[in-house]
Amino acid sequence: MINIKSPREVELISKSCRIVAESLQYIERFVEQGITLKELERLLAEFIVKKDAIPAFKGYRGYPAAVCISLNDEVVHGIPDERVLKEGDIVSIDIGVKKDGYFGDGAKTYGVGKISAEAERLMKVTESALYKGIDKACDGNRLYDISSTIQQSVESAGFSVVRELTGHGIGQKLHEEPIIPNFGMPGVGPRLKSGMVLAIEPMVNAGKYDVVTLSNGWTVKTKDGSISAHFEHTLVVGKDVAEILTVC
């Protein structure tokens, strides 16, 4: 069952989403060589709490940090530690916020100083695949119209979409139905309806799509050591267009 949110619920979700977007905007100025991943986490946790909200990932299924920070060949669920950013790194920051009982979820990959042309292209392709997917999130389309559009736009650029991790519905829970793969066949899956709230999040590897999970139980890395990017928005399905909620 994919539940349809009332306008009041969408309003509450959008409040959490706005804080996610503000957090992603706020942290950008600190994503510079010399800062540690832990320091980025601390700044974000402080920012979110000041907004009277809760960093939603902390303690979720035992996840140990306030936000996920994934460096270079880490795909998602990286645990912030004492590693220091250096020029040329790419760093994906994934933020979940809970406020008044409703969740918002969003992510963005940042470059540190001057990055390689490949890293630049990977980030552009991933973000643009997200927006092309969002374009399909309207009334009457099928769920995998989103998935197939993302896959096509990524693969036509010569990159690959991670298969083992997906986007998801969101609301009073961080993860609700439906599961939203970033690959699939158009014209398949449940019909989308206005008021469904979705978190769409392509994870794109420069090399092959295979991933491995580290022994810490969380950090997902590319198997071939290639770099990976991740962009995510929470949105509400609309009649003709989706409304992106993770904006500020």
- Enumerate binding residues for ligand MF3 (CB under 6 A): 57, 60-61, 63, 68, 77, 94, 96, 105, 168, 232
Q: Which does 68 bind (CB under 5 to 8 A by kind): Co ion, ligand MF3, none?
A: ligand MF3
x/- letters, 171..210, toward Co ion (CB under 5 A): ----------------------------x-----------
**Would you say the C-alpha torsion 244, 147, 92, 104 has a positive or negative sign?**
positive
Classify 77 as helix, strand or coil.
coil
Cα 9 versus chain centre, distance? 21
Q: With respect to ligand MF3, which residue has the nearer C-beta, 47 or 186? A: 47
Residue identified by tokens 């071939």 is 224
Tell the residue number behind the tokens 């999130």, with chain if given: 137
SS3 62: helix
Measured from the CB atom, the residue of 31 and 174 that comes closer to ligand MF3 is 174
Binding mask 98-117 for Co ion (x = CB under 5 A): -------x------------
CA separation for the pair 14, 126 (Å, rounded): 23
For Co ion, the closer of residues 125 and 165 by Cβ is 165
Binding flag, residue 162, Co ion (CB under 5 A): no
Helices (H), the chain: 7-28, 37-50, 117-135, 143-155
Which residues contact Co ion (rule: CB under 5 A)?
A: 105, 199
